[in-house]
Amino acid sequence: MGDDPDQAVSEVLRRGADVLIPCGSSASVAAKRQTSTIPIVFLNVGDPMAMGLVESLSRPGRNATGFSDILAELSGKLVDLARELSKSQMTVGYLWHTAWPDGQNRYQATEQAAQVVGMKLRSKGIADIAELDSALTAMKQNGSTTLIVQPSPFTYGQRGRIIASAMNHGLATIYAFPIAAREGAVIAYGPDYLHMYRRAPLYVDRILKGTKPADLPVERPAKVEFLINLQAAKTLGIEVPLSLLVRADELLE
């Protein structure tokens, strides 16, 4: 929807849209803020209830429904994967986006998950990609060998630079977007987005035929994918534990 979600939503509404299909939390909240009558089918929203988009997942109750990507719930799982990959190393890096409204919440959830398993989270928040190299240098100097990258629109869009820079710093990246493993992240664990995008047109079709968004439950991912890039691990000199290899949906060589 562009760099300014509110402006983009306003423009679409001026053109007389029958249904809004925002992608991501910022665009979805902007859409909900600007209309309480035009149906909204949102995509890739981590916690639609917390953001006020719906009253409940089973009965949205308003003019919005759609698809949650559950990324807000994966903090603990990403920490567990980092712990297994790092073996005896109890320090893990965490890169997060300070300019994103949900960034602080997801950082705190990850920090709590790390404390539960006795790991030390060496976090660095950045507002701009220009701060990336200095953040990764600091984490490496603090003893991190593994880097959890916070799932956010920023880290998704900048994943190429983040993965490359982490590799140059000797850091194994763990991402929550499956595509990242195909692009050099050592581990990716996240929802199957293709399934979500295939389901979305069905919701739009039902709404255009008269079904109210309030009567269509918010759908969660049918599958979470776990990919390991063995070539990236080899480049970093990492031996991936068998406990991870046997659970992976796909091993990339």
- pLDDT at residue 51 greater than cutoff 50: yes
Give pLDDT, residue 1. Answer: 46
Mean per-residue pLDDT of the chain = 93
The hierarchical CATH code for the domain 5-70+192-222 is 3.40.50.2300
Tell me the two tokens of residue 142: 């603090």
pLDDT digits (tens, 9 = 90+) for 73-83: 899 999 999 99
- pLDDT at residue 34 greater than cutoff 70: yes
Give pLDDT, residue 153. Answer: 86
pLDDT digits (tens, 9 = 90+) for 216-252: 999 998 889 999 999 999 999 999 999 999 999 999 9
Phi, psi of 242 (to 5 degrees): -60, -30
pLDDT digits (tens, 9 = 90+) for 165-182: 999 999 999 999 999 999
Which one of 11-15, 35-39, 97-101 scores highest in mean pLDDT? 35-39
Rounded (5°) CA angle 58-61-67: 50
The answer to which of 99-108, 114-123, 153-162 has the lowest mean pLDDT is 99-108
Tell me the two tokens of residue 75: 């903090």
- pLDDT at residue 194 greater than cutoff 90: no
Give pLDDT, residue 3. Answer: 63
What would the mean pLDDT of 105-121 be, rounded to a whole number? 92
Domain limits, the chain: 5-70+192-222, 72-190+225-252
- DSSP E strand stretches across 9-142: 40-45, 64-68, 91-97, 120-126
Would you tell me the crossing angle of helices 5-14 and 25-34 to the nearest 10 degrees?
50
The pTM score is 0.85
Give pLDDT, residue 233. Answer: 97
β-partners of residue 40 are: 20, 64
Question: Would the CATH topology of 5-70+192-222 be identical to that of 72-190+225-252?
Answer: yes
The answer as to CATH 3.40.50.2300 being correct for domain 72-190+225-252 is: yes
d(C-alpha 212, C-alpha 74), whole Å: 30
161: Cα separation from own chain's centroid: 17
